[in-house]
């Protein structure tokens, strides 16, 4: 089973700030495929997993973690860009 939590990134807009890559969520159809795979995985490995674990709870936990990680990363990049831009405008 492959994870949809891949850390996929996209280049910053207009290539103004080289080296800044933004994380984005996978497309909806990839998330749907991942959920179906996760349902099969949970069904096949029910004896090994936590009795309260379901595909929906695992999916929600991973999606929540992915969103929070990506938001933190993107906010951090935006802060760095803003400071870099302010520094460049003050020096020129």
Q: What pLDDT was estimated at residue 83?
A: 59
Q: Tens of pLDDT along 30-76? A: 999 999 999 999 999 999 998 888 999 999 999 999 888 888 887 77
Q: How many domains does the chain have?
A: 1
Closest CA to 58 of 46, 69, 75: 46
Q: Is the pLDDT of residue 81 over 90?
A: no
pLDDT band at residue 26 using 50, 70 and 90 as cut-offs: confident
Q: Decide if 66 is inside a domain.
A: yes
- Which pTM was predicted? 0.61
Q: Is residue 1 part of a domain?
A: no
**9 has a pLDDT exceeding 70:** no
Print the domain residue range for 30. 9-91
Structural domain contains residue 64: yes
Q: What b/e sequence results for 66-92 when a residue is b if at least 16 CB atoms lie within 10 Å of its CB, and e otherwise?
A: beeebeeebeebeeeeeeeeeeeeeee
Residue 57 in any domain: the answer is: yes
**Residues paired with residue 78 on neighbouring β-strands, in sequence order:** none
Alpha-carbon dihedral 32, 33, 37, 40, rounded to 10 degrees = 60
């Amino acid at each position: 089973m492959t994870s949809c939590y891949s850390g996929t990134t996209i280049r910053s807009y207009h290539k103004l700030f080289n080296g800044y890559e933004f994380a984005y969520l996978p497309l909806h159809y990839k998330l749907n495929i991942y959920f179906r795979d996760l349902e099969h995985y949970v069904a096949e490995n029910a004896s090994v997993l936590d009795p309260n674990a379901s595909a929906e709870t695992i999916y929600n936990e991973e999606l929540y973690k992915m969103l929070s990680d990506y938001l933190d990363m993107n906010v951090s990049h935006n802060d760095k860009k803003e400071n870099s831009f302010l520094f460049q405008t003050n020096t020129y």
